[in-house]
Structure 1
Amino acid sequence: MSYQHILVAIDLSEDSKTLIDKAVALAKAVKADVSFIHIDVNYAELYTGLVDINLAETQSQSIETSQEQLQKLAKYAQYPIKHTLVSSGDLGNELCDSIEEFNVDLVVCGHHQDFWSKLLSSTRQLMNRTPVDLLVVPIKD
């Protein structure tokens, strides 16, 4: 089986370049499309009512900033990036929705190999939810 559309789950850190390099190398070999996704914090879920902020404006600014950073990473890739997606909410739900909507057949994500990731791993959540192949790239800290 050859992959047709690779989705790279990006946290916008410097480590994202490692994931991009892996995904682009594979995409070149199999002539696949590549898209990026960043799933941000949903501020409405964190709001406790103790702070007077405009949640819609804060969320909009956050999405705009994330989209700008994704565009910079798309230039870094030196490969055509089909979609740069920014979403907010539950990681598993948002990723699965994007997989279905954009006909993705491989997700590339990173996994930090440190103490906290042994306890709290979003990658483990993805392994239990993702309906397509998942390439987990180890990131040593």
Structure 2
Amino acid sequence: MMNYRHILVMIDLSPDSYSLIHKASFISNLHNDAKISLIYVNTDYSDAYTGLIDVDIRNIQSYRLQDINNMLKNLKNYIYFPVHKVFIGNGDMTSCLLDVTQKYNIDLIIFGHYQDFWSKIVFSLRQIINSLHIDMLIVPFY
């Protein structure tokens, strides 16, 4: 059995993130208190829309970043163990995960996957699985 040293939990800041964090804590305890880090990948609105729009994207992103920081603070209040690092990524999810896993020697990533029609179309695990060469725990949400 592999001994994990650093676990990365990909969170979406929904209540389902708590169950992922709980699983990470359980696995960490089984593996000599492996470090646990959290990552949230933020959608970059300026890349998501390329047409004409009459909105100041910087203000939207600033408010969104403020919301993300508040949600992360709430999550940290729930966590009863030390969090090694908290990352907020922007842009392509696979690139963000690849960058963090390589730079910080992550050897297990935990993330959730919603089991509904739209998630199957919008969120593809194939690219992540093919790009990251580490162990993954995919937790289905219903």
Q: 1:66 to 1:96 in 2, by over 3 A?
A: same
Q: 1:126 to 1:14 in 2, by over 3 A?
A: same
Matched with 2:3 is 2
State whether residues 63 and 86 of structure 1, in contact with CA within 8 Å, keep that contact through their aligned partners in structure 2.
Answer: no
The within-5 A match list for 1:107-118 is 107-118=109-120
How far off is 1:74 after superposition?
A: 2.1
Q: Supply the AA of the counterpart residue of 1:4.
A: R
State the distance in 2 between where 1:57 and 1:102 align. 31
Runs of 5+ unmatched residues, structure 2: none
Q: 1:122 to 1:69 in 2, by over 3 A?
A: farther
State whether residues 3 and 32 of structure 1, in contact with CA within 8 Å, keep that contact through their aligned partners in structure 2.
Answer: yes
Matched with 1:26 is 27
Matched with 1:48 is 50
Q: Deviations over 1:59-104 (max 9, x none)?
A: 2332232122122112212111111111110000011101112221
Question: Cα RMSD between the aligned structures?
Answer: 1.6
Task: Describe the SS at the equivalent of 1:82.
Answer: coil
The within-5 A match list for 1:57-136 is 57-136=59-138
How far off is 1:49 after superposition?
A: 4.2
Q: Deviations over 1:18-44 (max 9, x none)?
A: 111111111122110111100011111
State whether residues 33 and 81 of structure 1, in contact with CA within 8 Å, keep that contact through their aligned partners in structure 2.
Answer: yes
Task: Describe the SS at the equivalent of 2:85.
Answer: strand
| TM-score of the aligned structures, taking structure 1 as reference length | 0.89
Q: 1:16 to 1:122 in 2, by over 3 A?
A: farther
